[in-house]
């Protein structure tokens, strides 16, 4: 049997991984794994995994890692990075952890220009707890806690994380949004988000649009359509802030 090549920094004893079929996490984690390999930072990278589906990756990498509480990965990474600046600290979280319960940590870490990298996976719902409405749920989108569709009149509009982070960070911060449907771009942005920390430039934030067919209750075609059409028309892809120059490979 021919298996696709796994990044060297993935931890084989914990594979195959525990994500649902059709979930985008595996793609984000692959981009992260390849970026860590290519930047040759496996031995000094510390991953922090938030609660939510993100935590299923707590032993995913052949890197030291800490699974934290819901929303609290950011302060744990801040504590580690400030204590051991030589380590590369990467927080991995979902939209609920980052934009809702952990938003005060995200905002203040960004304002303080903490030299850490945060990768936030946006799949427009709370996956692990069974598909509730998230800050990123699209208007009209049905979830377990918005069964008639999200009504912006009563629950507001989707949170645009990178736009908000870009507005409050320093010039040397890195802020971008990628998607699991454009792998080359995703990997390039992931590398940039890590390089920015390696070069001590400051806060680095990457949101990745991702899929959740289990809770979206979609088939493969519908899943991809929702990602590429519905989500991308609300959440625009690209580098909002980059000290490396846009489009640099």
36 binds another protein (CB under 8 A): no
How many angstroms separate the Cα of 185 from the Cα of each of 31, 33, 81, 176, 191? 10, 15, 27, 10, 10
Residue (72 or 160) nearer to another protein, CB: 72
Task: With contacts defined by CB under 8 A, name the span among 40-48, 118-126, 139-147, 184-192 that binds another protein.
Answer: 40-48
Residue (65 or 143) nearer to another protein, CB: 65
Measured CA to CA, the distance from residue 5 to residue 103 in angstroms comes to 36
17 binds another protein (CB under 8 A): no
142 Cβ contact list (under 8 Å, min separation 6):
148, 149, 150
Q: Minimum distance from CB of 4 to another protein (Å)?
A: 20
Binding-site member from 68, 169, 190, 210 for another protein (CB under 8 A): 68
Tell me the site size for another protein, rule CB under 8 A: 36
169 binds another protein (CB under 8 A): no
Residue (80 or 227) nearer to another protein, CB: 80
Residue (106 or 227) nearer to another protein, CB: 106
Measured CA to CA, the distance from residue 233 to residue 127 in angstroms comes to 22
How many angstroms separate the Cα of 98 from the Cα of each of 43, 63, 200, 218, 225? 26, 22, 22, 25, 25
Residue (54 or 136) nearer to another protein, CB: 54
208 binds another protein (CB under 8 A): no
| CA nearest neighbour of 20 among 49, 58, 53, 43 | 53
Cβ atoms of 47 and 65 closer than 8 Å: yes
Which residues between 85 and 144 bind another protein (CB under 8 A)?
87, 104-105, 107-108
The tokens describing 47, both together, are: 């991953």
Question: Which residues are at the interface with another protein (CB under 8 A)?
Answer: 11, 42-44, 46, 48, 51, 55, 58-59, 61-69, 72, 74-84, 87, 104-105, 107-108
């Amino acid at each position: 049997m021919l298996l696709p090549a796994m990044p060297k920094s993935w931890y084989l004893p914990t594979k195959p991984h525990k994500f649902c079929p059709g979930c985008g996490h595996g793609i984000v984690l692959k981009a992260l794994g390849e970026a860590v390999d290519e930047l040759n930072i496996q031995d000094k990278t510390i991953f922090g995994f938030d609660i939510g589906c993100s935590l299923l990756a707590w032993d995913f990498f052949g890197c030291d890692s800490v699974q934290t509480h819901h929303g609290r990965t950011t302060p744990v990474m801040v504590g580690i990075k400030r204590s051991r600046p030589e380590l590369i600290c990467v927080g991995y979280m979902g939209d609920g952890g980052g934009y809702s319960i952990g938003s005060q940590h995200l905002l203040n870490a960004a304002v303080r220009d903490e030299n850490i990298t945060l990768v936030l996976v946006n799949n427009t719902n709370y996956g692990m707890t069974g598909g509730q409405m998230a800050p990123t749920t699209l208007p009209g989108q049905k979830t377990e806690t918005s069964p008639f569709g999200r009504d912006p009149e009563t629950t507001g509009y989707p949170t645009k994380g990178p736009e908000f982070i870009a507005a409050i960070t320093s010039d040397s911060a890195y802020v971008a949004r990628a998607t699991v449907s454009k792998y080359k771009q995703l990997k390039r942005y992931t590398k940039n988000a890590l390089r920015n920390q390696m070069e001590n430039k400051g806060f680095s934030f990457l949101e990745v649009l991702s899929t959740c067919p289990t809770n979206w209750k979609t088939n493969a075609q519908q899943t991809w359509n929702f990602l590429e059409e519905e989500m991308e028309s609300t959440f625009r892809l690209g580098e909002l802030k980059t000290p490396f120059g846009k489009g640099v490979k």
